[in-house]
């Protein structure tokens, strides 16, 4: 009777030993898989940082800044006039046309635009920002003291490829700029849509 019992116990020990060996192998493979997953996650995070933060992705790069003029006063004009910011500071992607004073969106996306305009004589200064032929912003400032004064604004616009953004000077208003770039128009693509 003890012999059969010993044989049964021995068989169970062998089965238990085999299960224990297989469990150790599965645990080792699981640990290795977890390490590989952690390495891939770290690598992907690093790749994301490189492409997102450093701009190494295939997304288009678009941005510009331009000063108004070096010649001093601009305006007043008898009618509203598109301002030609002729001093290109930066024009990545060539979206800004310094001859026409117009930015043309090369791709559909979300864009950020800002402007600052200055004058030094008493009177009104102001600007319209247009998307295509639709006014988006009107900025106004009354320089009632003489001396330098400025006005600034910014906007985020969703544009389709080919949409245009420009600034215009209302009739009878004036601005000032010189080599110090008091009056600047800037914009850049936040991300394509």
pLDDT of residue 4: 62
For 17-62, the pLDDT digits (tens) are 767 787 787 687 877 878 887 888 777 776 666 555 555 567 899 9
Q: Is residue 38 located within the same domain as residue 89?
A: no
The highest-confidence range among 18-32, 56-70, 129-143, by mean pLDDT, is 129-143
The answer to whether 149 and 87 have CB atoms below 8 angstroms apart is: no
Q: Is residue 29 located within the same domain as residue 70?
A: no
Q: Is residue 134 located within the same domain as residue 43?
A: no
pTM above 0.75, yes or no: no
Q: Is residue 85 located within the same domain as residue 41?
A: no
Residue range 157-173: average pLDDT? Answer: 97
Q: Which domain holds residue 177?
A: 63-192
Round to whole Å and give the CA distance between 171 and 12: 99
What region does 172 belong to: left with phi over 0, alpha with psi -120 to 50, or beta?
Answer: left
Q: Is residue 68 located within the same domain as residue 124?
A: yes
The tokens describing 52, both together, are 């997102």
Q: Is residue 120 located within the same domain as residue 28?
A: no
Among 117, 79, 86, which residue's Cα sits nearest to residue 100?
A: 86
- Boundary of a domain, candidates 38, 58, 78: 58
């Amino acid at each position: 009777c003890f012999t059969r019992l010993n044989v049964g116990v021995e068989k169970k020990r062998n089965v238990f030993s085999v299960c224990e060996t297989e469990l150790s192998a599965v645990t080792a493979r699981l640990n290795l898989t977890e390490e590989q997953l952690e390495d891939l996650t770290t690598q992907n995070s690093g790749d994301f940082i490189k492409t997102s933060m450093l701009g190494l992705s295939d997304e288009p790069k678009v941005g510009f800044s331009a000063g108004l003029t070096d010649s001093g006063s601009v305006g007043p004009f008898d009618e509203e006039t598109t301002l030609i910011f002729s001093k290109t500071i930066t024009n990545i992607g060539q979206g800004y046309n310094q001859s026409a004073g117009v930015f043309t969106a090369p791709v559909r996306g979300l864009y950020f635009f800002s402007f600052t305009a200055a004058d030094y004589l008493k009177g009104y200064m102001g600007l319209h920002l247009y998307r295509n032929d639709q006014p988006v912003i009107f900025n106004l400032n009354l320089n009632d003291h003489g001396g330098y004064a400025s006005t600034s604004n910014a906007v985020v616009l969703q544009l389709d490829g080919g949409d245009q953004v420009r600034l215009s000077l209302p009739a009878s208003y004036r601005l000032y700029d010189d080599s110090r770039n008091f009056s600047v128009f800037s914009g850049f693509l936040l991300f394509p849509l």
